[in-house]
């Protein structure tokens, strides 16, 4: 049996007749980048999660490329469309309008040892594969030969629906504890079974998570909120104990009698995001799904249970207190600007559905630049609680009427669009 820290003696190569990857699912810009690198004399492949998704007959959300070309070589090759980023992990971003194709150089090292602090040691194809997290993400695809190249047994694990680390899972989680979150991420998204050794290593290494950069953890959390699989992910995070270390207040609520309230909101957000994974709900709206159910319960406990209807100032104060407790005081605290947006979204819900029952469609409120985000969240609320649907439609119609009135005023003030006056060519050659 091969050692878990070693690649296969010879890579297994799977031709088109076996993998049958549909190239219609591959971004033509990714194919262009690989082709350009190959023409310049560098080996290059589509790698990682995009290959995994192609084998699962799913359209990848994005495409990553690995190459023998160093970052400076890539920059010279692609010029102004290439941006080099990162220090610990130097990457090239090739821009096609608003889209980015990420290109990394083959790296070596970090198969054994402690927490990774330096990650720019160049290596070979096989060394690069051995650095990756899970076998299902360790495949290369050669679009010119139409071959899948497997150094680590990832092909078999994909077809067995199995999540397994490349190498000793305890070592791999200690090197980069964020991999534990990624393990649960793939379990939630792909519904794969976790390999026995990887599951045991997760339990053993839980406390290592606090050695990670909070920003990296938060980015993984946000990506899962956008993924369409956030409900199962947060269940797994809570069950594993990782969520308790990162967001203790949220975990306390999830494990309590009303924890399902949060999950109901996440389910509705997942349904929305699955319709178009490239354009998910705003992160502030998704974050509100985690906090609003707690806010509702606290308002009920602190005010309504005492037959007191709080005014909007008291609700705003309680909202700020909860945001501070749930996300700002946690290990991976939200940026202040996002927290302020979440606070607006949450408090605005009680302007749109006041306890008095009297609805006032105030133009000043609807003109706030973040009002549309509050409306997106109100829509989720109405899906969780259909009794709110009439109120949601009322606010939506009022907002549309305000927009139309604004357009009419604009056209009245500017009845004729400005015309571009042409003075003709300055000399004869300009007209040719």
Residue 115 has pLDDT above 80, yes or no: no
Q: What average pLDDT is seen over the chain?
A: 90
Residue-wise pLDDT for 201-223, tens only, equals 999 999 999 999 999 999 999 99
Residue identified by tokens 């078999």 is 156
Q: Is residue 218 part of a domain?
A: yes
Residues 136 and 173 in one domain: no
Average pLDDT rounded to a whole number, residues 133-145: 97
Residue identified by tokens 């797994």 is 236
> In Å, what is the CA distance from 423 to each residue of 4, 416, 418, 430?
74, 20, 15, 12
Q: Which of 122-126, 155-159, 211-215, 414-418 has the lowest mean pLDDT?
A: 414-418
Residue 359 has pLDDT above 90, yes or no: no
Residues 200 and 226 in one domain: no
pLDDT at 120: 59
Residues 181 and 112 in one domain: no
Beta bridge partners of 47: 64, 140
Local confidence band at 3 (pLDDT 50, 70, 90 cut-offs): very low
Q: Is residue 365 part of a domain?
A: yes
Widest pairwise Cα distance in the chain: 85
Local confidence band at 67 (pLDDT 50, 70, 90 cut-offs): very high
pLDDT at 141: 98
Q: Is residue 5 part of a domain?
A: no
Residue-wise pLDDT for 276-333, tens only, equals 888 999 999 999 999 999 999 999 999 999 999 999 999 999 999 999 999 888 898 8
In the numeric block, which tokens belong to residue 108?
Answer: 């070596």
Distance CA 88, CA 117 (A): 7
Residue-wise pLDDT for 234-250, tens only, equals 999 999 999 999 999 99
Residue-wise pLDDT for 155-183, tens only, equals 999 999 999 999 999 999 999 999 999 99
Residues 238 and 302 in one domain: yes
Residue 69 has pLDDT above 60, yes or no: yes
Can you list the pairs that 241-245 forms with residues at least 24 positions away whose Cβ atoms lie under 8 Å? 241/203, 241/206, 242/180, 242/181, 242/184, 242/206, 242/209, 245/206, 245/207, 245/209, 245/210, 245/331
Q: Is residue 428 part of a domain?
A: no
Distance CA 165, CA 314 (A): 49
Q: Is residue 414 part of a domain?
A: no
Residue-wise pLDDT for 346-355, tens only, equals 999 999 999 9
Residues 229 and 315 in one domain: yes
Residues 252 and 377 in one domain: yes
Distance CA 252, CA 246 (A): 12
Q: Is residue 112 part of a domain?
A: yes
CA-nearest of 87, 131, 136 to 112 is 131
Count how many Cα atoms sit within 13 Å of the Cα of residue 153 in the half-sphere of its side chain: 19
Residue 72, SS3 per DSSP: helix
Residue-wise pLDDT for 75-111, tens only, equals 999 999 999 998 777 899 999 999 999 999 999 865 5
pLDDT at 358: 83
Residues 63 and 116 in one domain: yes
Residue 26 has pLDDT above 80, yes or no: yes
Residues 234 and 358 in one domain: yes
Q: Is residue 432 part of a domain?
A: no
User: What's the total number of domains in the chain?
Assistant: 3
Specify the higher pLDDT residue, 96 or 4: 96
pLDDT at 112: 54
In the numeric block, which tokens belong to residue 355?
Answer: 């306890």
Residue 197 has pLDDT above 90, yes or no: yes
* CB of 37 closer than 8 Å to CB of 53: no
Residues 57 and 205 in one domain: no
Q: Find the radius of gyration of the CA atoms of the chain.
A: 26
Residues 255 and 272 in one domain: yes
Residue 343 has pLDDT above 90, yes or no: yes
DSSP 46: E
Local confidence band at 410 (pLDDT 50, 70, 90 cut-offs): low
pLDDT at 320: 96
What is the DSSP secondary-structure string of 277-324? TTSPPPHHHHHHHHHHHHHHHHHHHHTGGGT----HHHHHHHHHHHHI
pLDDT at 114: 54
Residues 152 and 54 in one domain: yes
Specify the higher pLDDT residue, 86 or 418: 86
Residue 429 has pLDDT above 60, yes or no: no
**How many degrees, rounded to 5, is the angle at CA 245 between CA 243 and CA 247?**
55
Residues 223 and 348 in one domain: yes
> What is the domain range of residue 40?
10-160
Average pLDDT rounded to a whole number, residues 363-392: 96
pLDDT at 431: 32
Average pLDDT rounded to a whole number, residues 248-253: 96
Residue 82, SS3 per DSSP: strand
Would the pTM count as exceeding 0.95? no
Residue identified by tokens 């939630």 is 188
Q: Which of 34-48, 121-135, 217-231 has the lowest mean pLDDT?
A: 121-135
């Amino acid at each position: 049996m091969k050692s878990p820290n070693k690649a296969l003696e010879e890579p297994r190569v799977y031709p088109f007749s076996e993998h049958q990857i549909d190239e219609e699912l591959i971004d033509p810009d990714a194919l262009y980048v690989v082709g350009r690198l190959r023409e310049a004399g560098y080996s290059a492949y589509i790698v990682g999660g995009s290959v995994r998704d192609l084998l699962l007959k799913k359209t990848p959300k994005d495409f990553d490329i690995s190459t023998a070309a160093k970052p400076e070589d890539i920059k010279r090759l692609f010029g102004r469309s290439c941006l080099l980023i990162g220090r610990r992990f130097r990457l090239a971003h090739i821009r096609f309008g608003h889209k980015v194709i990420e290109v990394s150089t083959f790296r070596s090292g970090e198969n054994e040892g402690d927490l990774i602090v330096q990650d720019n040691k160049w290596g070979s194809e096989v060394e690069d594969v051995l650095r990756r997290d899970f076998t299902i993400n360790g495949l290369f695809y050669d679009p010119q030969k139409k071959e899948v190249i497997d150094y680590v047994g990832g092909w078999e694990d994909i077809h067995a629906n199995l999540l397994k680390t490349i190498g000793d899972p305890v070592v791999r989680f200690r090197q980069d504890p964020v991999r534990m979150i990624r393990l649960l991420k793939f379990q939630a998204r792909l519904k794969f079974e976790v390999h026995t050794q990887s599951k045991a290593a997760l339990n053993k290494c839980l406390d290592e998570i606090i050695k990670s950069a909070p920003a990296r953890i938060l980015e993984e959390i946000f990506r899962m909120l956008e993924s369409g699989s956030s409900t199962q992910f947060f269940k797994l995070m809570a069950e594993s104990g990782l969520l308790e270390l990162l967001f203790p207040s949220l975990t306390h609520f999830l494990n309590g009698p009303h924890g399902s309230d949060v999950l109901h909101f996440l389910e509705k957000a997942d349904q929305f995001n699955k319709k178009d994974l490239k354009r998910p709900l705003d992160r502030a709206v998704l974050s509100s799904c985690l906090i609003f159910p707690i806010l509702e319960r606290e308002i009920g406990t602190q005010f309504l249970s005492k037959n007191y209807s709080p005014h909007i100032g008291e609700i705003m104060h309680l909202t700020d207190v909860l945001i501070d407790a749930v996300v700002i005081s946690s290990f991976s605290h939200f940026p202040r600007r996002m927290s302020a947006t979440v606070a607006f979204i949450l408090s605005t819900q009680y302007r749109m559905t006041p306890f008095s029952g009297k609805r006032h469609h105030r133009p000043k409120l609807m003109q706030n630049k973040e009002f549309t985000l509050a409306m997106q969240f109100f829509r989720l609320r109405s899906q969780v609680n259909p009794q709110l649907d009439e109120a949601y439609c009322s606010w939506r119609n009022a907002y549309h009427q305000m927009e139309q009135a604004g357009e009419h005023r604009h056209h009245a003030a500017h009845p004729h669009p400005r015309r571009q006056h042409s003075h003709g060519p300055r000399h004869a050659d300009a007209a040719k």
